[in-house]
Structures are given as C-alpha cells and as structure tokens.
Structure 1
C-alpha cells in the first residue's frame, strides 16, 4: 500500500517554475528583527497557496509519546486565482544521514518521499485571500493508523516531514499548490504491538535479520544512551551597531544613535527583551524593582527581602550547559542609552541635527536584568561589534586588534560585574582563514570555535569535534544547526556560510514549521549516535556519522530573533535530552580547559560550495583599508597628546576610543547571506569611515594659533614674539610650536606646551633679530605625537635691529667722543686755548654785560657773606 502511494505521489504534476532558494531579509542597522517585523510573511511568487503550521505534536517523539503524529494549521490562498478541490496529506522522507541533511532535505525542490499518507479533502474552493484550517493525524508505525496507514517509523533519528496540498488553480491543472517542510526528531519510540511481535531476546535467541536497535519486549525503542552528546549551548546577545559614528566619548558629547530600533528591541516584546526574558525560564526571574518610597507602616521584614522566583523544574543541567555570549558593543550602547541619548537625523554626519531618544528607561531596565542574569550564568564575550578577523589582519593595527579581541572580556566584566570566560574567540562569521588564525595567535587567543565545514581533519576524526590547527585549538560545531536557529523568530535569515544546496526558502515556511525544524536540529547530535569506529587500518568514519560526532556544541547566529515560544520549545527539548541521558551538560569553562589537551590535527579549508572565507567575511576595499588604518593611527596619536583634567570626568582613552570602535563596527562580519546584506555593509562602512575622518579633521581644527594678522613689530631685537593658542577640545592637549627658519632672525624652541581644555593660552616665543627689516615667519602647531593642528600662520616680523654696522658705528662714535674730551682737558690743564675754539668769534657788548653781571653778582654775594663773619670788605676789584 505504501509503495502505491509513493508511486501516486511521483505521478503528480508539479508546478513549473519551482522556487529557488532564497533568504528572508536580514537584520541590519536600519531594518530587521529589532524593528519587530516578521519577514516570514514574504511570499514566493510561484506559489498559489501557503501553509501555516500552528503545531506538530509530539514535537519530539519519546517512549511516553502518543503513537500518533498530529499536525494542525491553515492554508492561505496567496495568489490571484481561486483554487478548487483542495486535498492535503502528510509525507516523510528517510532519516537525516548527516548534519548537512538538516537543511538539504528541506531545501530540495523535489524531496524524496519514503512514506506518504492518503490525501484528505480540505476544501471545495478557496478564493484569493481566503484561508481554511486543517488538522490531520498519522500513526508513527506502519500499521496502526486507519486502514493500516502510518509513517512506518521504527528507528530513532531525525525525519524530514512535509505537509502537501494539491488543488486545481483556476485556468490550470491539478498540481501541488503549497508545501511546508519540517523535521521530526525521534529520540525513542513508544510501545507498538507489531514491533513487539518481532522482538528477539538477544540473550536467548538468534535472528538472521537486522534487529531494531534498542527494541524492547513491548515494542518500544529506547534512546541510544551509550555515548551521550556533550551539550554546550551558547545564547548570543548582540545587535547590529546602533551608535552613530564620529561622536567623541567620555560624556563630552551627547550620545547619538542612528535610529530607534534598539529602543524597540529593548522594550517589552522586542527582540533583545525576548532573548533575555527567555533565560528566566532557566535561571529564574529577577526580583521586582523596589519602589523609591516605602510606606512607613510597612514592617521592614516584608520589604527588605523577597524570595527569588525559581526556574522551571529540571533546569539545573540546562543552566550548566548554557553560556551567555555577549557582544560588548551591545552593552556599551545600552549603557549609554540608559544615561540619555539623541537620535541623529543624518547618521553619516556627526554634526547633524538630532531629536530626543525615547528608550532610556527601557535600556536601564534591560541592563539591570542582564546584570542579574549574568551573575547567575556563564558569560563569554564575543568580538567587538562582530569585527571580521580577516579585515583586522588586512588593517594590521595591533591596538585595533586588541580592542576587537581581548578588550571585550574586560568591558563585559566591568559593565556586568562578572568574570567572563577567557581565552576563547568566537568569530562572528563562523569560519577563519590563515590570516584570521594568525590574528588570533597574535592576540594570544589559543582557542576558538568554528564551523565544521571550514575544518578538514588530517587524521582521525575526533568525536568531540575538537582539533589542533597550528597554534590554535578549535571546537567545531555544525553550521546546518546554526542555520536552523537562524531561520526561527521574527526575522529569519540564512547565515553567510550556508552552501546553495542548504539555503531553504524561508518565505515559504511559517513560524511553526521553522520552529519544528530548529527542534529537530537541536536534537540531532544527541539522537544520531555514531556507529562504532572501524577496527581495521581504514579508520575513516561512517557516512552516517554526524559531522561533529557526539559533540553538541550549539551556537545560534549572533543576531537571531527567537520568540518566547521558540525559546520555550528549544529549552524544553534540551531539558528532555539532558534528563533522558541522551546528552550531558558540558560547561563552557570546562570545554575551554579541555581544548588545551587536543591532539587531533586538522587544517583550515574554504567551506564547500561557499567560497574563500576572506571574501565572504570582509567587504573591505583597498581604499577603505587605508582609510581605516589612517583613522585608527590618528586616533592613537591624538590620545597620546591629550592630558587628563580634574575638571573633566573623561580620560583620554574614553574620549578617543569611540572612534576606534566605530572602525570596528565598520568591519563587522555579514550576519546573513545575500547581495542586499553586502550592499548594506559597504554603505554603512563608507559612512562610518567618513564620519570618523570628519571628526578627526574637526579635532585638528579645534586647536589652533590665533592669527594676529598684518605686520608684527618687536620693541627690540630680543623682544619675545607674543602668540595666543586656542583649544576647543574637552581635554587639555600637549603641543609643540615649530617655525620656519628665515635668515636674520632666530626663534627659540619652547618645547612641549599644554593648552587648557576649552580655553586659550598666551605664549612668548624667544626671538632674536639681526636685521632691521620685515621678515616673513611661518609658524605651525602640532601635537607632541606629530598630528598637525589648525592652519599654519605667516607673520611679517620687524625686529628693530640694525646688525653689525650699527654696532661698529656706535663703537667709533664712542671712541671719538673720548678723544675729543681728552684733548680739551689736556689744553685746559696746560692753560692753553683749545684749538677747537680758535674760530670762535669775539663776544659782543651784550655777552660781556651778561658775563659781567654774573661776575658782579657773585662778588656782591661774597662780600655780604664776609660782613656776616666780621671781615673787612675788599674794594679791590681784582
């Protein structure tokens, strides 16, 4: 019967123009999951209808499950034609044989059908825009359903399922008008009479047929617990960069954001709020915030303490296996928002107009909750702003690499008050090339986590997925599992490393089907136990082995957007695997410690079907690389010239670091696949580079020499040259003044001068002139680290100096004066008339009278003084 059904399925006419793989729009700085939009509503243009899955029960099959799979949902007519004679049925394929099958089995345009149920009537007619609900069930076993129909699942595994809807579109023939695919994980199977009839006790009987592994006397099939998967779950908290570029730090300028997406994401129901709220199911809820005012008649015992709400039962092991992976750029942004911020009208212009932001309160609440949660969980820091390792290698600035890879742990610890896991780098792209590996080694990071499709073992495959790659120890993880996590939530996306044959058309899948596939992907490493390793010389693993073996290192994409229902479903599945013994918790600190002893060798490769890692992860052009390198170097030079001031809380490092962080935001890895993603990254990269360049240019013009203008006259040849320097920066700056060296003037070097913040300073340049003429002098100002400041000024200086000729004339004049005076004295002492008086004319009567009157006056004065002393007057005029 089942074979006949399969043949009937293959005989159906399939619609022409099948939809190729596509990705929903990724989250970006201006759109995406932080806006709360659901990109899953996008429709494939070649489909007449769309299936919306509400639920599949059980979501994971165990021995306690009902022996029936039930799928419910609705069918929407999304075309412009009516559809008649709609029928629906449930189909399944063969169990997933490798991790890649978790996506390829969903992406195949014409999936293989192993077992299918009968078509059931759904609706006689469905007009455009109308919907019809459905609920259908099918037995797990082959013969337990109506008329002996069933899914014929007798072994554990992860099975691809499809809901298939056929109908007759108006003006068309009967065909498949809609389909929805998902994964059904089967950890174990409930009792079944038919399987019980075939039970063989291996201790007493022998069977020449291949017995069902784990089959019990009641027909149940137990989970394979012989090699529990080592489960480590990272829970990323990150967002595309939201801080507007080119803004200086240390609260010296208002915080600017490029839009209000972050505020919406942090508010109740937003993406980041949902991600954090989901963790309360694991570690418990934080206590309610205490009111600022407490009634005076309330007993202290009732207000001082309140019990913490407990996590859901069975969460202890889950909490041990989980670790918060936090982008420091996110918490830097949220902390800045909580203190008040503005939204820029033009993010590309650091001086554009702004409007008040509205998310400060939500940011404060979210950050408080994160602090409370982080102190009860493992925490690891992601690279700053998801900076690309290959881009860092191309830029080649050690300080920028340090800020991207080593400083994030310190930032996370400082803001959240925790001690994060050290030594592990988690590249945002999920893969590294040789340049990226060298960058990690140079940053003294010895361990990393990369996707398994970027690593090729050179010897035996390690069942933990851990390898030694040169100087690095790497923990690998399954990229298809990450892609399954990326597909859930409000903004489903396809990671950049996804090969074409694994790119699922997410626009065709509803939230429920995408969630069910993520559950199957999470369970896959714990369910798909590897076969025993061969004992012969050929120790290559079986093709049925998972890519990573029994390692369940689960890493969702950094910008994923699970809803609360998605998170609860993932947590419930993880709890089940841990409690059943199919998985065991492996805390991240233990994993990092164990990586140090890894011995299995591997080499880095480009992911098959994707291309070079460096080309995928980096959008840097040669010009952009040079510009970033120049901006970063200038920022360090400026920081080295700034001085901490008691009047300003900002330090030089806090003042300048936002500009370097802007350059890290400019080289973030692509978070999704698609040309639109790369176009957006290139545009924002250019804007951030230009904005930082603009700010650095503005800073150089903020410290300058005030040009006195015109001609500058010194009082003497050694008078100082008086200048005024101005500093509009928020911190004092150390600078040097240099001048041109024209002839006939010497200007001294003042050395290092400190110009006060937001003020001026008068300086005196020691000057010595050697010529009494106008001399043109060019004066420049620069930081002590060599950054030119302001515009050089040109002065016309007049020194009032005459040089050596004036000196010699002065000496000769002095000598002549001494000689002439000596000659006159010589003649006077000898009673001889001075030859210089020989040509003097004889005195006239007036001159004699004046000379005589003076003599007579002196004589009368002497006679008068003689009488006073009793002396006789002398009448002799001689």
Structure 2
C-alpha cells in the first residue's frame, strides 16, 4: 500500500503522484535486493506454537579463528497442531552479545530481543498435522549480505530460529521458534585473545534412568521388568548407549579432558542391566509375563561401559537416585544408609574403583538433618548447588557444611549454577537441575547454552573456585549432540578459556576436619567457616509425598524383620542379605528422584515393591491341610506343618487364635530350615466337646506376618474340666442316693422282724423299731432274708398253700386285719 502524503489530503495531479510513487518503490526494492533480505510480513508469535523444532546439529558449536565462515543448522520440524500449515519458511535472527549474567540468563530462557535477521528460506509448501520435515539452514557469520549474521566482535550471542507459515488464507503467523546461544571466541580468520585466567572444569556424565525392575532375581524367582523400554536405551543409538560411546570416542581416559570427566552412575541401572543380560521377563498390562528382548543389548552395553570407565573417575549415586531429604524427613535413616551402599556393587560389576566419599544429591540440595545423617556413611564431600548454601554467592570455592554434628563437617563443592541452568531444559526453574528425563529435541540448544555459559564464565563472569559441570540427572542429548559438547570443551581448552581438572580426592582435604587446603578460609587464616545448608523451596515442593513414604516405611519394617529372622543355612550358604537387599532396593524405587513432583508414580512403585515383598514373605507358610483334626481327650495336640521356600533358615513364632474353652500352648521361637519343612505339635487343652476352628499365623519375633493365616478344623470328643467335674459330681450323687435307698430298705425290713419279743396290739415293738429289750438286736427270719419275689394286689387274695380254702399268707409274718393301716 502506498503511503499517503500529507495525511488525508488528495493530490491535485494524481497521475504525477502515481508516477513518482512507482519510481520510489522501484528504487527502494532495488536497494533491498542488493543489500537486505526481501520484505516479508512481520509475524507475531502465537501462544502455544504449533510447530516443534528439533535442532540436531549446529556447526561450529564454538566459533573461533580456525572455524569455517558459515554457520550450518540442521534438524526437523513437526506439525503438532490439528490443521495443515502452508508455505513454511524459516530464518535466523540474532541479538547483541551478552554483557551481564542476568542478561545471559534471560537470553537462555528466550527473552532476548533480536537485532539482525536473515531472509526467509522456504522449508516446505505444506505440513499436515503430525507430519515431519527436515531442514538445513546455512548462513554467513560475518558480512552484510541477506544471509549473514553480521558478527563484528567476539562474545556470546543469542540466536532465534523463527518459523512462519500460513494457517489460513490471509493469516500468516509465527508457528514455531527455538532459542539457543552461540559462543564466539574470535571471528573466522581473526586471532583469539584468551582471558587472563582460565576456568578449572570437572564434567559429570550421569548414567541414570527410571526404575524398571518389578522383581529382582532371587533363588527360584525370575527377574521381572515392568516394561522393555530400557532395552532400547541400551541398544546402539539409544540414549544410554550414546552417552557411553560419545565419551569413549571423544575423550580417551588418558587425555587431559578425559581425566576431568567423572561418571555418576545409579547402582540400580547396573543391577537392572546385569539382570537383563542374564535373562529376564516383562510383565504386560494383562498381568502375563513374556520374555524380554534386550539381553544381548544389555550385555554389550555393560561390556562397553567396563571398557569406557577403566581408569576414570566414577561416582555412585544413591540407589535408584533416591530422594535422601525425603527419606530423612520420613524418619528412615536406615534407608538412607542402605541407599548409599551401591559403590561396592558398581565396583564389582565394572571392575573399577568407585569414589564412595563423594555424594551428588538430587537437585544438589540437602537440609541440615539429612546432612547430619551422612556421618555414618563414607561421604566426606557433597556436590551442592549454591542456592542450597547460605551466604556463599559470588564464589565457587568449597566450604565446610554445618551439619550440627561437631565431629562431622563434609566439604561442600559447588556446582556452577550458570552452567547447570544452561544445560537444564527447565532453564533454572529448579535448583540444581531437572530430575526428569530431558525432553527430546532440547539436547543441542542446551549443549550450546552450556558452552556459551562456560565462555561467559571465563571471559566476563569469572569467580573464585573451579566449575563443576552438572547436567540434568537424566540428560537426553543424542550422540551427535554430546560429541558436539565434548568437542566444544576441547575447543575452549585449546583457546585457554577452560582448564580440565580431576575431581579432588578425599586425601586433598575432604576428611571432615576443620582445615583444608582447598576450602574457603577466613581473612585471618583461621579454619574455614561452616556454612549451613538451605533447602530450596522449589525442591521442597517437589519432594516425594509423606503419605507415600509412610507406606514405604511400613513395608521396610517387614524387610528388616525378615532379615532379623533369617540365618544362613550352611548347606546352601546364602547370605540373608541376598534375600532382603533386593526387597529394600525395590522399595527405594518409590523414593526415586524420578518421581519428584509425581506422587502418583511414587505410590505406584511402592505398591509394586510391596507386592513383591508379600510374595517373598509368603515363602514361609503353613502347609495346606484339608482334613479335620480330632481330639479324643482334654489334652491333645494339633498338627501344624510349616513350609519354607526361601534359601535361608527362618525363625518365627506360632500365633494361634482359638475360641473360648480352647487353650493352645506357646512353643516360643521356632525355626524352619531353608527349602524345607517341619511339623510342630502344640499342646492343646479343651474344656468342651464339639467342632470348632483355630487360626494359625506365623510371625517374626517383631510381629511381621509370614505367609497367610491358615484355618484348621478341630473336632473334640473329649470332656473338658467343667464337664468332667459335673460328671463326677453326678456319679457321686447317684452313688449316695442309691446307698441311702438301700439303707432305708434294710432298716424298714428290720423294723418288722422279731424272735419272740413282745409286740403291742398293733403289731409293733414297744421299745421301738429294730430294738430288743433283751439283746438290743433283732434277728431276721428266713422269710425276711429271702423276701417273696412279688406282691399281690390289695384287691386280690393270695393263694393258700394247701388249697383254695386255706388262710392267706403274708410275707411279713404279721397278722392281717381289716384295720391294718398299710391296707388301702
């Protein structure tokens, strides 16, 4: 659109004006064609950019006098939106070199303004949703052409890749962008002026992944992984494979840079890779297990790692890179100590000496309580982010850590925060670095930012003390990106910007004392001041939730109880720790730094470890008994068979829950042999008969349950104490009543007998029944000794001995009268 001269005024001669305007436009276009890029619609950045940019290579990573005069950038674009994009174009923009640390940090986070732009280059005519396309961009480093960055002096420059496209007709916008820094030591063909003093550097290469092992191999139990993703990472071209290969190829162990490289290895990764190499299974979502596919890749990776770490510095991270501060706050000092014993495992598997005196905690942060609990470990040096140390800004010199223990003050060696934030994809949003897997596609920008931060540190922001280069725990550069970073370190070394240095050993002053040749001292030359740790709020917010750690603590108690109850069986010679250590390590998966900020994942892994633990505890159990136990007396025995499927002897106690009236004796502490069984016969006292059940549970001396509770059916035919007493009492009463009746019958018969004694008119002895005045004793007649077998009815007449007409007989020898009161 032509400009309107004089605002809204209409020229008097439109033809002349149009002619002049055309001539002016032709002249302007001619100038632009010869000096600058063609004019293009200025695009505004879109919120939630639709195109993702993966920068795979930038050459050179560090510009110096011997560099080619061109900057070459390659990578891929991906349409992350749900609509196609037409006419994709790309250009490179740069800002002014950074002069202050805040401005450098702002630029690394994408906040720098650009001042020079190359012309747009077509990348693709159309990019459908989900589609990818590769790109290559080549620009001149210096000069004034349309494809030149126009560099004029050394410095650290912010660069912006700007991608424009048509989202709809007449709707052109910026659809993607990527920011990174370019360190320029000198212009191509010029001379490099090194800084007055180089910066000492030590580089950490972390070998850390996510937990994968659901069940570590035990005798009779296979290795089971939750997925097979680690196989891909260990195979050639995978993340962990490239980390090892790049260091091996770029920095030999005996080179100057190689001596300053230190591998920081998670023992859990070595344990998992070794288990995979020996054969493993993968549990699918359905719950079924299938054979893993990564055995060969794991074995090859371990062999290459052994060759690479030979003669190098190796550190052991806490097992599964556990969040030590979270464990300390949950009151689990035994798990802190247990997580720190992985150095021996790494040493035996890789055949290399491991620095167990150095700790690199998650986020480079500790609180005072956690630091004090390290006194029981070999740790004498801690790699910490300066944000976690009170009052130590402006210097990178080591300090002593105030743990609250006067006898323990480890050396705190500071991670360079500028470089750590540059290599961190989160761009410094967390103290010390991100603990999650770095996003794919961010590797090369972070590598360039790291090299730029080192250049800026040496040239503009030099401070006392050496620089420890600490990438994110789960750094994710591909092989080319890491090779570029290591190559850039060599270039900075040759230019005199950096000076590779090995990590100081414990003998150089890291002994926990109050003096050291390499720690900060006061102006009077006294012992260095102890600095208190300050735990960053960002780290505290991301901690493993207390509820998860409470459950972890409960399960860890069971592991400790099993260890206390187990003992070595000489015939099998299996150390009880061989059974319990994998269980403890499984619980540490739930406290891994990988789950910081993800409490749901941490809880899931505690559940996975708990199910494995229960499976091992079920290895000691009461044998199944379908029958019924019969007790035939009040004192009997019930039969309990205990089976032990573990390769160690196990001590336990029988806990029997029985109904009222049933008492089972306590047998005390019992023992069942490894891979064997024993029959136990606890004495049982019953106080009633009938059918009932008893529940038998095996527990350790501390109360941890072994196996499942077994219910036994018991049938008692015996009388207990109370029924027995009642029976005896009834029998005694029966005897007494029978005796009383017999005595009364005898006495009643004696009252009716006489041997010539006088009787009264009613037929009774006047001296009383059974008494004789002469003898005091009545003699029974023969009839009384042999009473008649039966009696007649009162209505019937008794037969006479001589015939029917004889007088009736009486068995009592008494005369029968009609007035006899015994007659009715």
Q: TM-score, normalised by structure 2?
A: 0.70
Instruction: Pick one of 554, 572, 576 that aligns with 1:652.
Output: 576
The match for 2:273 is: 334
The match for 1:280 is: 248
Residues 1:455 and 1:483: Cα distance change in structure 2 (over 3 Å): same
The match for 2:335 is: 400
Do 2:88 and 2:163's aligned partners in 1 also have CA atoms closer than 8 Å?
no
Cα displacement (A) at 1:65: 3.3
1:227-626 paired onto structure 2 within 5 Å? 227-244=197-214, 247=215, 249-282=217-250, 316-346=255-285, 352-404=287-339, 406-441=340-375, 443=377, 445-457=379-391, 461-464=394-397, 466=399, 468-470=401-403, 471-479=409-417, 481-487=419-425, 497=430, 514-515=443-444, 517-522=446-451, 524-525=453-454, 527-529=456-458, 545=461, 551-590=466-505, 593-595=508-510, 597=516, 598=519, 599=528, 602-605=531-534, 607=536, 611-616=537-542, 618-622=543-547, 624-626=548-550
1:93 aligns with 2:96: yes
Instruction: Pick one of 791, 812, 820 that aligns with 2:709.
Output: 791
Structure 1 regions of 5+ residues with no counterpart? 20-43, 193-219, 285-310, 488-492, 531-543, 672-676, 814-837, 841-878
1:721-732 paired onto structure 2 within 5 Å? 722-732=639-649
Cα distance in structure 1, aligned partners of 2:781 and 2:363: 111
Do 1:495 and 1:557's aligned partners in 2 also have CA atoms closer than 8 Å?
no
Residues 1:464 and 1:744: Cα distance change in structure 2 (over 3 Å): closer
Cα distance in structure 1, aligned partners of 2:451 and 2:506: 19
Cα distance in structure 1, aligned partners of 2:612 and 2:149: 68
Do 1:188 and 1:223's aligned partners in 2 also have CA atoms closer than 8 Å?
no
Instruction: Pick one of 683, 696, 704 that aligns with 2:600.
Output: 683
| 3-state SS of paired residue (1:232) | strand
Residues 1:385 and 1:86: Cα distance change in structure 2 (over 3 Å): closer
Cα displacement (A) at 1:116: 1.4
The match for 2:563 is: 639
Residues 1:266 and 1:753: Cα distance change in structure 2 (over 3 Å): same
Do 1:379 and 1:420's aligned partners in 2 also have CA atoms closer than 8 Å?
yes
| 3-state SS of paired residue (2:600) | helix
Cα distance in structure 2, aligned partners of 1:101 and 1:456: 24
Deviations 1:370-409 (A, max 9, x none): 22322321111011111112221133223211121x2121
Cα distance in structure 2, aligned partners of 1:714 and 1:775: 12
The match for 2:785 is: none
Cα displacement (A) at 1:160: 1.3
Cα distance in structure 2, aligned partners of 1:9 and 1:592: 64
The match for 1:861 is: none
The match for 2:652 is: 735
Cα distance in structure 2, aligned partners of 1:169 and 1:706: 71
| 3-state SS of paired residue (2:257) | helix
Cα distance in structure 2, aligned partners of 1:771 and 1:628: 45
Cα distance in structure 1, aligned partners of 2:468 and 2:628: 74
Do 2:654 and 2:698's aligned partners in 1 also have CA atoms closer than 8 Å?
yes
Cα distance in structure 2, aligned partners of 1:732 and 1:62: 69
| 3-state SS of paired residue (1:239) | coil
Cα distance in structure 1, aligned partners of 2:285 and 2:484: 41
Structure 2 regions of 5+ residues with no counterpart? 1-30, 404-408, 520-527, 736-779, 783-824
Q: Give the aligned length.
A: 671
Residues 1:793 and 1:172: Cα distance change in structure 2 (over 3 Å): same
Cα displacement (A) at 1:421: 0.6
Residues 1:9 and 1:264: Cα distance change in structure 2 (over 3 Å): same
Do 1:729 and 1:758's aligned partners in 2 also have CA atoms closer than 8 Å?
yes
Q: Say which structure, 1 or 2, has more relative contact order (CA 8 Å, 6+ apart).
A: 1
Cα displacement (A) at 1:328: 0.2
| Higher alpha-carbon Rg | 2
Cα distance in structure 1, aligned partners of 2:506 and 2:444: 28
Larger mean Cα displacement after TM superposition, 373-382 or 473-482: 473-482
Do 1:703 and 1:729's aligned partners in 2 also have CA atoms closer than 8 Å?
no
Residues 1:582 and 1:469: Cα distance change in structure 2 (over 3 Å): farther
Cα distance in structure 2, aligned partners of 1:378 and 1:444: 17
Do 1:102 and 1:521's aligned partners in 2 also have CA atoms closer than 8 Å?
no
Do 1:75 and 1:131's aligned partners in 2 also have CA atoms closer than 8 Å?
yes
Cα displacement (A) at 1:279: 2.4
Cα displacement (A) at 1:321: 0.1
